[in-house]
């Protein structure tokens, strides 16, 4: 019994060995020359990338693959250049826009503080009632950065002494303009260190 099993096992091993040898020799041999080059159509690989760019670029068919690749590269470069040109930031334009915004903000601050100062003086200015003519007088004002009124002078008086005196009386009551504290120091020096106010008999102050 043991001899029969041993013989059967030996038979299967021999059969397995023969099958292995047969399968090895049945594998087809690839004959590839070491100097042979494998050609790859890069144009087909790049075609999908064209979807990312503007469809308005001309698409032409070139017979030679080298020309196809070159044309595609040129299209890609042209598309990149168009995108860069479209979103190119002009530093000079940005600088000009910032300057405009800054000037607009400064002008707004000047007008705001000027209007407040004019309104405060106007609120205590008592004009003479008997004014039959149009009168104008100009006052020069000198302020400290703290807002303190250092000095004022009637540099262009009107022909009416009562009108002039009413202006001087109003200015004598003013001692401090805290509104200038909110201004940038440079803006204060340029516009409120020394400035003029025009008093009109109509009651306006400019």
Beta-carbon contacts of 180 under 8 Å, excluding residues fewer than 6 positions away, are: 113, 143, 145, 147, 188, 192
Which pLDDT tens digit goes with each residue over 154-192? 999 999 999 999 999 999 999 999 989 989 999 999 999
- Taking CA 16 as the corner, what is the angle to CA 10 and CA 17, rounded to the nearest 5 degrees? 90
Q: What is the pTM of this model?
A: 0.51
Domain ranges of the chain: 48-88, 93-200
Which pLDDT tens digit goes with each residue over 155-164? 999 999 999 9
Which pLDDT tens digit goes with each residue over 34-80? 555 555 454 454 454 454 444 454 544 444 455 556 777 777 777 77
- pLDDT of 166 reads 95
Architecture of the domain whose range is 93-200: 2-Layer Sandwich (3.30)
Count of CB atoms situated within 10 Å of the CB of 129: 6
- pLDDT of 14 reads 74
Beta-carbon contacts of 171 under 8 Å, excluding residues fewer than 6 positions away, are: 121, 139, 141, 152
Which pLDDT tens digit goes with each residue over 104-142? 788 899 999 999 999 999 999 999 888 778 899 999 999
State how far the Cα of 192 lies from the Cα of 102, in Å rounded to an integer.
Answer: 18
């Amino acid at each position: 019994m043991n001899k029969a099993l041993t013989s059967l096992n030996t038979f299967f091993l021999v059969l397995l060995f023969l099958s292995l040898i047969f399968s090895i020799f049945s594998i087809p041999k690839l004959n590839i020359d070491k100097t042979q080059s494998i050609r790859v159509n890069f144009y087909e690989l790049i075609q999908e990338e064209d979807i990312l760019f503007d469809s308005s670029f001309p698409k032409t068919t070139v017979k030679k693959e080298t020309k196809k690749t070159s044309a595609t590269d040129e299209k890609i470069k042209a598309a990149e250049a168009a995108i860069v040109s479209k979103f190119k930031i002009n530093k000079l334009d940005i600088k000009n826009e910032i300057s405009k915004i800054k000037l607009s903000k400064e002008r707004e601050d000047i007008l705001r503080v000027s209007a407040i100062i004019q309104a405060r003086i106007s609120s205590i200015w008592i004009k003479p009632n008997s004014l039959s003519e149009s009168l104008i007088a100009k006052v020069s004002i000198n302020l400290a950065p703290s807002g303190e009124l250092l000095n004022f002078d009637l540099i262009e008086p009107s022909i009416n002494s009562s009108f002039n005196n009413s202006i001087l009386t109003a200015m004598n009551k003013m001692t401090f303009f805290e509104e200038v504290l909110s201004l940038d120091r440079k803006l204060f020096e340029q516009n409120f260190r020394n400035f003029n106010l025009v008093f009109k008999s109509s009651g306006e102050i400019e």
